[in-house]
Amino acid sequence: MATDNQIGFGAGGETPTEEPRLTAADVTIGGILGEAWGVYKENFGLILVGFLIYVIAAAIAGNVPVLPLFVIPHILTGYYIMILKAVRKQDPEVGDLFKGFGLYVPVLLANIIIALLVVLGLILLIVPGIILALMYALTFFLLAEYTLAVERGEMQKSAVAAWTTCKRSAEMMNGWKLKFFLYGIVLGLVALSGVLMLGIGLLFTAPLAIMSTVVLYEKIRRIGPLALFAFFHLWQAPPLQKGGACFSMGQVIMISHRLFL
């Protein structure tokens, strides 16, 4: 199965031989918003229409019990496909909005899995729910990615599984969770700023916030999980032992890093 960094990202779908090298230091909220704004301006009409279709579909589905569960995640995945293609200059179109239905079962199951885990985490003193939400924050971006890969013949549809995609998201978010959380707060404020324009502004600011999140996903995909400090393996303090459990100070830091960063 092709990896996330192998499935086509060039114009028209071909895989480029090499992408510009990025580091975590290159990822800034200003840079993300600037890049997102540039892509948004180039595709303004299409991105706005796609968002309107998504909002209308959500409003209609919301009037029928349980229906949003079976429809909205798929349209959202399609919207991510549209924006991913815009970011990569791959000629997005309105039809992309419905391509999330191509992986119907994986998208449906991923949504159910994440919802259940996050709700359970929120019940357990809230913080675990936030951590779980951050761990699986890239799941639907990856499903959008895999939908395009299946379309191009680079993956088999049967190779896409909900839980495997969730786990891949958790792996990619190692070292990114805190930054993603802080960026999410800023992007949420960007989206909500539309309320200042009698609510109508949300039609313009919300798509920009979503576009910015897709740009952030692209950075994380290219950089990959963030490693622990380079000197980590040199720090082997005497282990802490209590009640039969034995952990070195380094292991304690590793556990904290996996959970919170």
Dist CA 157 CA 137 (whole Å): 22
The answer to whether the CB of 139 falls within 8 A of the CB of 166 is yes
- Tell me the average pLDDT of the chain: 84
DSSP 63: T
Dist CA 226 CA 237 (whole Å): 23
Sorted by sequence, the CB contacts under 8 Å of residue 135 that are 6+ apart come out as 169, 170, 173, 177
**pLDDT tens readout for residues 89-123:** 999 999 999 999 999 999 999 999 999 999 999 99
Model pTM score: 0.82
**pLDDT tens readout for residues 182-232:** 999 999 999 888 877 767 888 899 999 999 999 999 999 999 998 654 333
**pLDDT tens readout for residues 7-17:** 544 434 444 44
| Distance between first and last Cα of the chain | 28
Domain ranges of the chain: 11-226, 229-261
The answer to whether the CB of 167 falls within 8 A of the CB of 185 is no
For residue 82, count other CB atoms closer than 10 A to its CB: 27
Confidence bin at 18 (pLDDT 50/70/90): low
Dist CA 24 CA 2 (whole Å): 24
**pLDDT tens readout for residues 58-69:** 999 999 999 999
Angle, in degrees to the nearest 10, between helices 29-42 and 177-192: 50
Dist CA 142 CA 153 (whole Å): 16
